[in-house]
Amino acid sequence: MNRKKLTEKLTAKALLFLVVFFVIMLFTANLSAQVIDNKAEDKMVKKYKTKKFIKDIFNYSTFFAAYSESSPLFQPERFFVTQAGEVINVTPEIGNDYLVNIGLRKLARFDYTNKQNRYYDGSERNPSLSSNVGAINGLEYLFMYSKGQQQNRQYKSHRYFVRYSAKYWSLKLESQKNGLINLNYENADLRFRLPIKNLSLSAGASLRTHAPYGYLPIDDYLEENPWWDLAYENGYMDYYYGIDYDNDGQLDNFDWWWANPEGVRIADTDADFRRNHFTDIVNRYNKTELDKIGTLGTLSAVVGLDYYYFRDKFFSHLWANAYPIHKHIIGDFDYSYELVYGSDNWVDYNAGLMMGWNVSQKISIFTEYEITKFWDKKLSFLKTGINLKL
Ligand SMILES: [Ca+2]
């Protein structure tokens, strides 16, 4: 093992140790203190305190399960005309969209968010999941699993979130997978905090896992092979034929028709094949190759701020994080974003702003804005509006 790898391994181990240490501290500090204190106490009291500790974890938490179903989006009908002039309706049949959410949550609500619905169904947008500071100190969590179908596409998602905020430090563990938008990451974030009135400054380290972003396996493949090799490798076969447009016995052009692995003719020309079949083969190839590389992990330094102000007339909640320096610590370095980018000091960031202003008795305006730039991925969300009371 060379020195670089050794350092990486040590860094990973140190971080893992730190995270495990904090988690154990968090969950056992309470208990172990009791165990020592309670040696003389009788069993009943011990039992009571353990119960209370567990009760504290589940206090104010809600278990929820919800099922929703709705008609799919309208699809215009599609028709195919056969060589014999017969019209066939080829509109794909689409089943109802549905979604099952099941979860356990304990998330404090900020004063500015709308009064919670009478029920939780898992569809709530909660700023607390992305802000740096929760509405309360202490333990907050969300464990949610979803399974659904949209436009005949089945998908599974999950969101696990645990945050413990103390006055001068915070720990956040997150795992999110969204089958609809192909989002999949895990995050462990440990920071020291400096609260100054409504403002909270923070600095620490964040370990994020991710797919090999910025690397496209098909690019490498096509540099060394012609595109049709990939089709052959997947069992497709092409057959040459000449074309004599003007029937003078001399060929004017040529092309290939294609058969699938079962030997069925599926495309009349190369262009036809590439347009209607090759795209799927390429997507499959990219996915298989990326899966082989597996998950990568980047350890980053992070600095952040969180500002919260709430009055009846005006509120604003702003948070921002910058990740200015990184170290690839999990997975094959050859596919790290560090290599794709060319150095270890690209800037990732995310930020959010929630704002509402009752300008007068009759006019109010509001804005919700969130932006995330991680690696070469950019996501944003904006909602803004005005209310006029007539
Ligand atoms: Ca000819």
The whole-angstrom separation of Cα 201 and Cα 207 is: 19
Report, as an integer, the average pLDDT of 58-65. 88
Please name each of the domains of the chain with its CATH number: 62-212+294-388 (2.40.160), 217-292 (no CATH)
- Strands 183-196, 169-178: pairing kind: antiparallel
pLDDT recorded at residue 76: 84
For residue 385 the two structure tokens come to 């509006």
CB 97 within 8 A of CB 149: yes
Of the candidates 95, 87, 148, 139, the residue with the CA atom closest to the CA atom of residue 121: 148
Per residue in 103-130, pLDDT (tens digit) is 999 988 888 876 666 788 888 888 888 8
pTM given for the model: 0.73
- How much distance in Å is there from the Cα of 256 to the middle of ligand 1? 18
Give the residue among 62, 57, 60, 162 at the shortest CA–CA distance from 103.
62
pLDDT for 279 equals 94
The Å distance, Cα 240 to ligand 1 centre, comes to 17
Residues with CB under 5 Å of ion ligand 1 are: 244, 246, 248, 250, 252
Q: Running DSSP on this structure, what letter comes out for residue 17?
A: H
Whether the predicted pLDDT of 33 surpasses 50:
no
How far, in Å, CA of 340 to CA of 335, rounded?
7
Q: How far is the CA of 165 from the centre of ligand 1 (A)?
A: 79
pLDDT tens by residue, 182-197: 778 899 999 999 999 8
User: How many residues belong to the chain?
Assistant: 390
CA 247–ligand 1 middle distance (angstroms): 5
pLDDT for 307 equals 95
Distance 129 CA to ligand 1 centre (A): 69
| Residue 166 identity | A
Tens digits of residue pLDDT in 64-81: 999 999 988 887 888 888
Going through the chain in order, the beta strands assigned E by DSSP cover: 62-70, 79-81, 87-89, 97-106, 138-150, 153-165, 169-178, 183-196, 199-210, 237-243, 253-259, 265-267, 296-310, 314-323, 326-330, 348-358, 363-374, 377-388
Any idea which of 14-18, 107-111, 117-121, 215-219 has the lowest mean pLDDT?
A: 14-18
Q: What's the CA-to-centroid distance between 255 and ligand 1, angstroms?
A: 14
- Contact (Cβ atoms closer than 8 angstroms) between residue 88 and residue 116: no
